[in-house]
A and B are shown apart, each in its own frame.
Chain A
Amino acid sequence: MCGIIGYISNEDGGNGRDDEHGGGERADGGPTGGGRALPVLVDGLRNLEYRGYDSAGVALVEDDAVAVHKQQGVIDDLALPDAHPATCGVGHTRWSTHGKPTDANAHPHTDCTGDVAVVHNGIIENYDHLRAELEAAGHAFSSETDTEVVPHLLEAELAARREAATDGGRVDEDGDAGGAESAADGDGEPVDDVGPYRTASTSGGFGDVDVVAAVEAVVDRLEGSYAVAVTVAGREELVVARQDSPLVLGLGDGANFVASDVTAFVEHTREVAYLEDGDVARVTGDAVDVRHDGAWVERDRKTVDWEAEAAEKGGYDHYMLKEIYEQPGALRQTLSGRIDEVAGDVDLDVDLPADVLADVEEIQLVACGTSYHAGLYARRLLEEFADVRVTVEVASEYEFTGGRDPWETLVVAVTQSGETADTLSAMRKAAKAGARTLAVTNTVGSTAAREADDALYIRAGPEIGVAATKTFAAQVTALSLLTVHVGRRRGALSSERASHLLENLRGLPGAVQQLLDASDRLQAVASEYVDEDAYFFVGRQLGSAVALEGALKLKEIAYVHAEGFPSGELKHGTLALVTEDTPVLTVLTEGARPKETLNNVKEVESRGAPVIGFSSYDAAANYLDVEIPIPDLGVLEPLVANVGLQLFAYHVANELGRAIDKPRNLAKSVTVE
């Protein structure tokens, strides 16, 4: 899924007015003033980031060119000028599921002359055929995307039309004859130029050619789904087209907008018009003209009357809660097509063959924050099921130090974004030392995925909430699959044990759903224990990894003191802090040594601390103030318990009125060391 936006105002260029009035004022008239294209597009793209954030770009219309700034990464990392006089431009934010998010593949895409810039959401199914045709006609492509055929087709179409219209008048400096030829093939429809269309009086490379008619001719040749927005050098207009991908027009006062979603511009205007499939529209600062099947049509104006931010959260109050609930679906994606219970093996698209793995003496997991906790979980699984020594390192502490042979070490970098600076730095140190590297990430083609020898994708879909939730579950799941892969290839894991672990993995989405079905209960528990001095999270083995993660969630979104540690450590210090005002949350499941943990529970209980147990251990019931049952799922039970901890943290933070999706001082992807 990608997001597109376009903006145009009828003010003359020049350095824009300050946009201070944007601070809370919802001016009906929308923005006015020149030079605002850049800030409006950037703000709009931020609001569209939920549609994807692996690359971003803008195109700004100048008199004789289109200035394109684009690169792989989130919009806030995009290198942009401080100001730009443009009053017209388009922007794009991308989430690639196929192909890599490189700078070249980022939108906008341009033609050979650089006069046409296009952003696109959707899939052009016949692009390979069109691309071959255009390349044969001499067009040079600079990306691997389907989208790039559009600017080149348009270039050819515009050139052909210019020649026809001016009867050999002005000739473009580049003289792209090949383009004109190919356009002649695709063209054939006479252009009806009556209607509300007004020719722009500009001096761009394509002069007075009717861009709307050219876009109509181009989209006639496209198969698939698309919402496209086109800008042409020197033309104060946007031309857009829609087929099976969302596109909405925002109608301001002296400024108009187009976007994949109203959220992109709702702070500027609430007057909108939705385009229908097959529509092509010309948008200027003060007019919107829509064509359909060669005729001018009207599209109803509507007033959007809901809060924009609420829209993309799909009825949830916060992204975090939405993402917690998305876990069963995300985990099905993580597993899909990868497990073979019959054979007791997995099918991962990673290049880690048996001969490589047989030589591995140590696997080092490097990660930060929540990903580090996923690493702690995976360490136990790898050691138990794949019979390999594993160390887990906080990435910022990592050095490839003594006692290790790089040829016998596999370094696995776990990072949701694939851009975490500390993790990248650790991975580079390992690679420099000569170790083989594997990235486990959510982001296709991210820096980590590109730089590592191989990548394993967790397939959790975009995660917007700063507090990682579904990506933790998906990381542990992907690392469990990796455990089977490694264990089987090293001959350390019997197909029978593997088959059993895979059965449990298949059961994971259903078990997580059962915790979600108990959300009301966790909300009640959170509201009962919302005002306490501190919270302690304890467990053993896999349970201690989850205890750390549970405490981190509570700290980062609720801003309360929380500590997670192995429950055996209680009596070595922290027990002194335990009072009746410090709830203890504990994991009493398989994989977490519930019997021993229960002894620690008794210690805190005798000091009056309320105990909230996430439990599949029947003997614990009498010692718990609150028992949240965890379904039977073998070594994955602690991961299911973690969903309960997520809900607890969420509801505590919500009771405290915290900014859950954007906690203070924190950012989603930490790209500085």
Chain B
Amino acid sequence: MKAVVLAAGEGRRLEPLTNRRPKPMLPIAGKPLLEYVLEAIVDAGIDEVVFVVGYARDRIQTHFGDGDDWGVDVEYVVQEKQLGTAHAVAQAEAAVNDAFVVLNGDRIIEPSAVTSVAERLARDGGPVMTVTRSADPGAYGVVELDGDRVVDIEEKPREAASELINAGVYGFERSVFDAISETPPDDAGERGIPDTLAGFVADGGVSAVRYGGLWEDVSHLWDVTRVTGHVLDRDGSTRDGDVAETASVADPVHVGAGTSVDANATLRRGCSLGENVSVGANAVLSNAVVLADAVVEDGAVVRDAVVAENAHVGANATVVGGETDVLVDGNLYADVRLGAVVGDNATVGGGTTVAAGTVLGDGSTVEAGCTVSGRVPSDTEVRRG
């Protein structure tokens, strides 16, 4: 049985981190989200994997190559235009022979989700979908069951009829490809898997598998640090690189290869540093995710923040951290823990104070000594006024 992984999407809500990489390539504790998905597939005993790629696919292809490093064959099919998850599945038609499982490339799950779908698929045929319980069902696709049968799927309902949500792991037979082509596209011209499933639901044909394991979704910028913390708690510390003896490093943290942490720097729990990162003397990082090639200079304080690839945080700059209210696409999210996001290749000048909730676009520059807050667009320069 093959696994088809949907990894073509951009992840607009995660801008600016997704301006140069697709959402499945967001690093969590040193590995992209998609690698956790692939590991779950491998652990479930599946060794032929089809990645449906599209947006910034070079990032995915360069990281995973032909899958040899994971002992599996990875094949790529391209979804040129992102026209929905069902449309993405349809791109894999030529790459699968018989029944197959489908996973989202940006959700961390455990192998049991894959094995239980595969088993149900083998026993009862498809379609099969996983459901999991959520504290906030209204944010997802809410699923109503009658025994093992799905009776209704409703996307982001105002009033959730159940606490069970679509966990995003599916099992299909090849007949699904006909069903997808018959699924009417929505107003935006997109076809989603739930739309295709709706046709089967009407005939009582969708069987549900209950899943109670780890299920981590990175929907918003502040989820990057949160999910990193959860994964580090689960998997423990990994420390490569060159950490000065006098640096204070708590557990669990991730320190990537070729990374240096200078004298008296402090890494509190939950920090993750990618490869080739430089953390200066006396810098303090707390609940911070720093991507490859970034530099955090001497004495900088970075709390509850994401510092993206090749970004610079100048000496004695302070990312204040803490909880704040953040507006995304017109929705207000209250009390989220988001110190700041410093986009790829952005520079925060020395001594700058970055207020909680600040998002600096990629390539932006903040002059030394500023106080900055809010959203700064890509490639803009912020000067002291």
A binding-site residues for B, Cβ under 8 Å: 1, 51, 244-246, 260-262, 274, 276, 302-303, 305-306, 310-316, 322, 325-326, 328-329, 332-333, 335-337, 339-342, 503, 506-507, 509-511, 513-514, 516-517, 519, 631
Interface centre among A261, A310, A326, A506, by most chain B C-beta atoms within 10 angstroms, is: A506
- Whether the pair B276, A517 counts as a contact (CB closer than 8 A) is no
A239 to chain B, nearest CB (A): 20
B20 contacts A322, C-beta separation under 8 Å: no
Q: Which of B61, B76, B257, B262 contacts A325 (CB 8 A)?
A: B61
A276-B45 contact, Cβ under 8 Å, with A311-B73, A311-B75, A341-B278: yes
- Of listed B73, B76, B278, B294, residue having the most chain A CB within 10 A: B73
Show 18 residue pairs from A and B whose CB-CB distance is below 8 angstroms, ordered by the A residue.
Answer: A51-B68, A244-B71, A261-B66, A306-B95, A311-B66, A311-B75, A314-B74, A315-B60, A322-B61, A325-B58, A329-B62, A332-B276, A335-B258, A335-B276, A336-B276, A341-B278, A506-B276, A510-B292
Chain A residue with Cβ nearest B71? A246
Q: Which residue of A lies closest to B61 (CB)?
A: A315
- Minimal beta-carbon separation of A322 from chain B (angstroms): 7
Known contacts A314-B65, A507-B310, A514-B310; A306 and B293 CB within 8 A of each other: no
Instruction: Decide if B64 is an interface residue (CB 8 Å cutoff).
Output: yes
| Contact between B61 and A631, CB atoms less than 8 A apart | no
Give the residues from 252 to 309 in chain B that come closer than 8 angstroms, CB to CB, to chain A.
257-258, 260, 262-263, 275-276, 278, 281, 292-295, 309
Contact, CB under 8 Å: B276 / A509: yes
B312 to A: closest C-beta gap in Å: 9
Known: A314-B62, A322-B61, A342-B262. A262 touches B73 (CB 8 A): yes
Instruction: Decide: A631 and B75 in contact? CB cutoff 8 A.
Output: no
Contact (Cβ within 8 A) B47 A274: yes
Closest Cβ–Cβ distance, residue A147 to chain B (whole Å): 19
Chain B 92-106 near chain A by CB (<8 Å), digits 1 or 0? 001101000000000
In the assembled complex, B345 has its CB within 8 A of some CB on chain A: yes
Query: B293, A506: Cβ atoms under 8 Å?
Result: yes
The distance in angstroms between the C-alpha atoms of A329 and B276, with both chains bound, is 10
Give the shortest distance, in Å, between B44 (CB) and chain A (any CB): 12
Is A631 a contact of B62 with CB atoms below 8 Å? no
User: Which of B64, B97, B258, B263 interacts with A314 by CB under 8 Å?
Assistant: B64
> Are A305 and B76 neighbours in the complex by a CB distance under 8 Å?
no
Tell me, in angstroms, the Cα distance from A631 to B345 when the chains sit together.
9
A394 CA to B48 CA, complexed, in Å: 47
Summed over the interface, the residue pairs from A and B with CB atoms below 8 Å come to a total of 111
B41 to chain A, nearest CB (A): 14
CB within 8 Å of A: which residues of B? 20, 45, 47-48, 51, 53, 57-58, 60-62, 64-66, 68, 71-76, 94-95, 97, 242, 257-258, 260, 262-263, 275-276, 278, 281, 292-295, 309-310, 345
Report Cα–Cα, A237/B211, bound state, in Å: 45
A316 contacts across to B, CB distance below 8 A:
58, 61
Q: Which of A274, A337, A341, A519 is in CB contact (< 8 Å) with B58?
A: A519
The answer to whether A337 and B57 touch (CB under 8 A), given A244-B71, A342-B262, is no
Partner of B61, one of A261, A314, A336, A507: A314
With A1-B68, A274-B47 known to touch, is A305 a contact of B95 (CB < 8 Å)? Answer: yes
A470 to B295, CA, bound (A): 24
Complexed CA–CA distance, A503 and B277 (Å): 11
A333: min CB distance to chain B, Å: 8
**Closest-CB distance, A340 to chain B (whole angstroms):** 8
Identity of the chain B residue whose Cβ is nearest the Cβ of A517 in the assembled complex:
B20
- Residues of chain B lying within 8 A (CB to CB) of residue A305: 94-95, 97
Measured between beta carbons, the chain A residues less than 8 angstroms from B345 are: 510, 514, 631
A325 touches B75 (CB 8 A): no
Given known contacts A336-B257, A337-B258, what 16 new A-B pairs fall within 8 Å (CB)? A1-B68, A246-B72, A274-B48, A311-B73, A315-B57, A315-B75, A326-B62, A332-B292, A336-B276, A337-B257, A342-B281, A503-B295, A506-B293, A510-B294, A510-B309, A516-B58
Q: Shortest CB–CB separation between residue B290 and chain A, in angstroms? A: 12
Contacts of B258 in A (CB 8 A): 332-333, 335-337
Alpha-carbon separation in the docked complex, A340 to B262 (Å):
10
When distances are taken between beta carbons in the complex, the residues of chain A under 8 Å from B276 are: 332, 335-336, 506, 509
CA distance A511 to B188 in the complex (A): 37
What residues of chain A lie closer than 8 Å to B257, measured between beta carbons? 332, 336-337
**B242 contacts which chain A residues (CB < 8 A)?**
337, 340
